[in-house]
């Protein structure tokens, strides 16, 4: 390879790569346009089908025109050639020439008149002896034009003349002028005899370039007509689809704005056609939605205000009632059995009412945007042990065992100790209430960016519909279920709000008869909030047996810690991280 070729080769490869990238980009853009634009799809389909129809019709017309044009000209040529062949043979038969010179003069004079046919079409003649070995050949092969020889005649036509008598033709491409280009011709041949029965093949070469030029011109006209019709059809389809698709696009845009919260946007209305009726119906629907949403917002605001006001107004009298209930409860031994039982019921009901009031106050703070985080570095195992130990009596009374499982010995996050403890307490108590006496597992895991705590029970479980509503306020799977603890229906809703303040996620899984699992995932630092695509260190539901047991409740209602083998402190655990000072988290708003 020479130096210029070696230098040009990388340039060619670079050009090929750029061309391939542009082709891929064009294909991607076309596919994207095809998927996103209904108008583009309609125009593309219409033009493709129209072009296919024009191609089929044009091909049929071109074939018919070419056949008609060729056949008509061929019939004229064959008729003229047959008459001329008869005249030539008659001239040869009428002559008594026998010497070579006389025969040559006879051929020249007879065939000289064949330069043009009866329709003044240019043609050439070629005379070729058919028997070179008989010794009867008197004159050699000759033609009107020196550049035309016996090789100009198609071999198939020569063989046919040797086998059959008659007038035959064959298409070919030859030069009609010495310095000209090859043109389409028709070679017509027959057998003529000179003196002494010497057979010769006489061939007439007819120029068919004029019919070909006519056919080419007609093809060009057809092609231009197809292009013009395609442009016209494309313009018509574009206009029609634009008139149809534009209202659909407007409707889609208005619907997107409505979905984003712009309730005041409406569709333009004009005319009385179907699209106008659609626009009017859509606008009426939007008006109805806006009115209903406004009413719901007002009702929600009134409800929040009512709950907040009632909660605050009831706090002072409830304190007084609690004091009186405690006095009566402490003095119940001096009462008769009826009054003693009444004092006990009053004390417990006041306690439950106080819990409900506390939950309502917390919900009102979430709604008002007044909830704040007191951020510090907290140790999850310490919180979990405290929660499990506090719930141990409930576990003992329900017949369940709460087990803490993990590969870790330490797991810290930056968050609000009180709120994280409340989340885990709600989850553990909820699992014990619905665990039906079966074991409850608390699993802990962490990654470099997140920590996860899963609370898994093996009780009644829940369906997908119930799991979708379990975090709603005041929702209960079975309103008629006997409630032994809590029962306000706000615990999981408050846990969800506390999780959101920390920038984490609270997820649920459940299956009827297989139990339920709540997965709490928290960021390990406040500098990074978890996104919807960030994975949790624990699957949902986790495999209980894949984690060693580190603590469990005893039948007496206490917590027993155990040294599980293989506990490790993974890389990235901030064991020596400095304790964060409690601060107000100004960004943690619901």
- What's the pLDDT tens digit per position in 41-73? 888 888 888 888 888 888 888 888 777 877 888
Q: Cα(517)–Cα(427) distance, rounded to whole angstroms?
A: 9
Q: Cα(215)–Cα(172) distance, rounded to whole angstroms?
A: 17
pLDDT surpasses 70 at 137: no
Q: Cα(551)–Cα(189) distance, rounded to whole angstroms?
A: 112
Give the other-Cβ count within 10 Å of 415's Cβ. 32
pLDDT surpasses 80 at 315: no
CATH code of the domain made up of 377-557: 3.30.565.10
- What's the pLDDT tens digit per position in 147-202? 888 888 888 888 888 888 888 988 888 887 777 788 888 889 998 887 666 788 88
Alpha helices in 95-199 (DSSP H): 100-111, 155-163
**Adjacency order of strands within the sheet including 123-129:** 142-143, 123-129, 199-207, 182-193, 168-175
Topology of the domain covering 98-213: Beta-Lactamase (3.30.450)
- What's the pLDDT tens digit per position in 421-477? 989 998 999 899 888 888 999 999 998 889 999 999 998 888 888 888 888 777 766
- The torsion defined by the Cα of 273, 278, 281 and 284, in degrees rounded to 10, comes to -100
Q: Cα(335)–Cα(256) distance, rounded to whole angstroms?
A: 69
From residue 476, alpha-carbon distances to 106, 278, 487, 539, 556 in Å are 123, 41, 9, 26, 31
Give the other-Cβ count within 10 Å of 545's Cβ. 9
Query: Does 346 or 572 have the greater pLDDT score?
Result: 346
- What's the pLDDT tens digit per position in 493-508? 888 888 888 888 899 9
CB burial of residue 325 (10 Å; 0-12, 13-18, 19+): buried
Is the domain covering 272-371 a CATH 2.60.40.10 domain?
no
Pairing of the two strands 549-553 and 182-193: unpaired
The structure tokens listed for 463 are 């369906």
Q: How many helices (H) and strands (E) does the chain have?
A: 11, 15
**pTM score of the predicted model:** 0.48
The reply to whether domains 272-371 and 377-557 share a CATH topology is no
Domains of the chain, by residue range, sit at: 98-213, 272-371, 377-557
């Amino acid at each position: 390879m020479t130096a210029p070729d070696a230098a040009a080769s990388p340039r060619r490869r670079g050009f090929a790569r750029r061309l391939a990238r542009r082709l891929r980009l064009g294909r991607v853009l076309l596919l994207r346009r095809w998927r996103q634009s209904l108008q583009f799809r309609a125009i593309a389909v219409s033009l493709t089908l129209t072009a296919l129809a024009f191609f089929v019709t044009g091909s049929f017309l071109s074939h018919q025109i070419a056949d008609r044009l060729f056949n008509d000209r061929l019939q004229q040529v064959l008729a003229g050639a047959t008459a001329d062949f008869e005249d030539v043979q008659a001239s040869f038969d009428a002559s008594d020439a026998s010497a070579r010179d006389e025969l040559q003069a006879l051929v020249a004079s007879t065939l000289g008149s064949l330069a043009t046919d009866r329709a003044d079409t240019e043609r050439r003649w070629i005379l070729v002896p058919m028997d070179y070995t008989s010794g009867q050949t008197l004159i050699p092969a000759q033609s009107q034009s020196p550049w035309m020889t016996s090789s100009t005649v198609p071999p198939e036509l020569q063989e046919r003349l040797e086998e059959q008598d008659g007038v035959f033709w064959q298409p070919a491409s030859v030069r009609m002028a010495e310095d000209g280009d090859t043109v389409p011709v028709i070679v017509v041949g027959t057998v003529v005899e000179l003196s002494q029965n010497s057979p010769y093949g006489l061939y007439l070469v007819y120029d068919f370039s004029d019919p070909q030029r006519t056919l080419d011109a007609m093809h060009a006209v057809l092609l231009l007509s197809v292009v013009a019709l395609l442009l016209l059809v494309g313009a018509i389809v574009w206009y029609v689809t634009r008139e149809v698709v534009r209202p659909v696009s407007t409707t889609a845009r208005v619907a997107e704005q409505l979905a984003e919260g712009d309730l005041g946007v409406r569709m333009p209305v004009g005319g009385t056609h179907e699209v106008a009726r659609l626009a009017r119906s859509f606008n009426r629907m939007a008006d109805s939605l806006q009115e209903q949403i406004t009413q719901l917002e007002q009702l929600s605001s009134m409800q929040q205000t009512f709950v907040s006001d009632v909660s605050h107004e009831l706090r002072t009298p409830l304190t007084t009632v609690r004091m009186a209930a405690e006095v009566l409860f402490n003095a119940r031994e001096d009462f008769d059995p009826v009054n003693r039982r009444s004092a006990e019921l009053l004390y417990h009901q006041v306690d439950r009412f106080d819990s409900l009031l506390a939950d309502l106050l917390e919900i009102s703070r979430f709604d008002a945007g007044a909830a704040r985080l007191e951020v510090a570095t907290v140790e999850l195992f310490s919180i979990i042990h405290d929660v499990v130990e506090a719930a141990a009596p409930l576990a003992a009374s329900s017949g369940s065992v709460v087990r803490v499982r993990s590969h870790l010995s330490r797991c810290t996050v930056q968050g609000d100790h009180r709120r994280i403890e409340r989340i885990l307490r709600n989850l553990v108590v909820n699992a014990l209430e619905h665990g039906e006496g079966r074991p409850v597992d608390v699993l802990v895991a962490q990654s470099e960016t997140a920590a996860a705590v899963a609370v898994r029970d093996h009780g009644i479980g829940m369906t997908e519909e119930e799991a979708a509503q379990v975090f709603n306020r005041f929702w209960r799977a079975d309103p008629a279920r006997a409630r032994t603890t809590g029962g306000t229906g706000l615990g999981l809703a408050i846990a969800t709000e506390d999780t959101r303040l920390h920038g984490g996620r609270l997820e649920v899984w459940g299956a009827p008869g297989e139990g339920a699992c709540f997965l709490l995932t928290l960021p390990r630092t406040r500098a990074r909030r978890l996104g919807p695509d960030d994975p949790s260190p624990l699957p949902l539901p986790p495999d209980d047996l894949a984690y060693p047991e580190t603590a469990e409740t005893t039948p007496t209602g206490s917590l027993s810690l155990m040294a599980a083998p293989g506990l490790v402190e993974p890389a990235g655990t901030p064991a020596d991280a400095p304790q964060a000072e409690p601060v107000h988290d100004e960004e943690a708003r619901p």
